[in-house]
Amino acid sequence: MKIELNLFGALRQYTPAAAVTLEVADDARVADVRTALRAHAEAYWPGFHSGLLARSAFASETTVLREGEPVPADGRMAVLPPVSGG
């Protein structure tokens, strides 16, 4: 399936669109998306720090997703680096 990842915070600096489209298996879990994004980043993002992605969470519009959860049906997720609001 095709998934669209929206990037926030420090992850925005790696791609002007702040979004990445990836292809993953139809039964992919969040952990699989993390692996696919890491591979994409290492291939295409100059100066990418893998530590930042390791500390980033994946989320839908309503909740943070755990690693073992399936990808949302609409294939849309947000990638959230460590937060610093307030």
Partner 1 sequence: MDAHVDTVQFAIADIARHRLDPAAALDFVSDPGFGGIAMFVGKVRAQNLGREVVGVSYDMFDPLALAVFAQAAEEARALVGPRLKLHVSHAKGRLGVGDLAVVVAAGTPHRDEAFRACRLMIEKVKHQAPIWKQEHYLDGDSVWSEGCSLCEGHAHDHD
Q: Residues in the site for partner 1, rule: CB under 8 A?
A: 6, 8-10, 12-13, 54-57, 59-64, 66-67, 78, 80-86
> Minimum distance from CB of 56 to partner 1 (Å)?
7
Q: How many Cα neighbours within 13 Å face the side chain of 18?
A: 10
> Minimum distance from CB of 71 to partner 1 (Å)?
16
CB nearer partner 1, residue 26 or residue 46:
46
Q: How many CB atoms neighbour CB 71 within 10 A?
A: 22
